[in-house]
Amino acid sequence: MREIDVSIIEQAVRDLCIKANKILPSDLEERICSCTECECEELPQSIMKTLQENIGAAKELDIPICQDTGMAVVFAQVGQEVHLTGGSFEAAVNKGVSRGYTEGFLRCSVVKDPLRRVNTGDNTPAVIHTRIVDGDKIKITVAPKGFGSENMSCLKMFTPSATRENIIDYIVESVKTAGSNPCPPMVLGIGIGGTFEQCALLAKTALCRSVSVSNPDEYYASMEAEILERVNALGIGPQGFGGNTTALSVAIEAAPTHIAGLPVALNVGCHVTRHAQIII
């Protein structure tokens, strides 16, 4: 049994909140750069170049890539051979988020109650998804989620008679409806199967996958490619001004489901789909 003091969790989450908001994953930055060359018209190409400059400026000036530093979504895979000491795991995660956002001078956007709308002042509480896994390590991923893109996400409970094409049509139509609101070019996370809440979590998880990695199942990999092609054919383009790059990547995660159902969720990410990770 390996002992880990929760103060280590707190510090890790604090650092990940700041890192994720200031440094875009390298694979996503590379995809933005490569897609710039896909634009033939001056305006969309100029916008893509400006996005690159913004990413570079955030690194150089040590400031957030986007003013919406998001709601902190934390994925934790805790090894069953780990014994946590020194206090509560969730309290440590939330304290880490609080420190990350206040000490990192990140915008605090969380309200304590959804209807009374009083800001908590430190971006807590975080949304925490914890899984117990094999081993004696803890893997933590912090994925700050801005709500310009989150608000364009959607879920539909299809019947089992729905076809692959029906699902693709639904995703493409949802992106068309979203238009420029999610600050395209987008990253699209799609969850298929499970239950109502599980397919939404699958879609959120999909946004943390490297944009350079396709689904290992060829059936879903080809579906990802088809959705990406059809979405980019919409012509919404960078920031909604037209062009060839409406989406940078599509990731599908699937799970077993009930014989009577076929849930599908789309979690939309903007071009700043952020996440940072550590293994303790």
Instruction: For the chain, state the CA radius of gyration.
Output: 19
| DSSP bridge pairs for 5 | 85
Annotated domain spans of the chain:
2-22+65-145, 148-273
What is the Cα–Cα distance from 10 to 1, expressed in whole angstroms? 21
* Yes or no: domain 148-273 corresponds to CATH 3.40.50: no
pLDDT of residue 129: 98
Q: Are 248 and 231 in contact (CB under 8 A)?
A: no
Q: Which SS3 state, helix, strand or coil, does residue 248 take?
A: strand
**pLDDT digits 0-9 by tens, 60-114:** 999 999 999 999 999 999 999 999 999 999 999 999 999 999 999 999 999 999 9
pLDDT of residue 47: 97
* Regions of the chain with pLDDT less than 50: none
pLDDT of residue 98: 98
Structure pTM?
A: 0.97
Dihedral of alpha carbons 12, 18, 19, 21, sign = positive
pLDDT of residue 114: 98
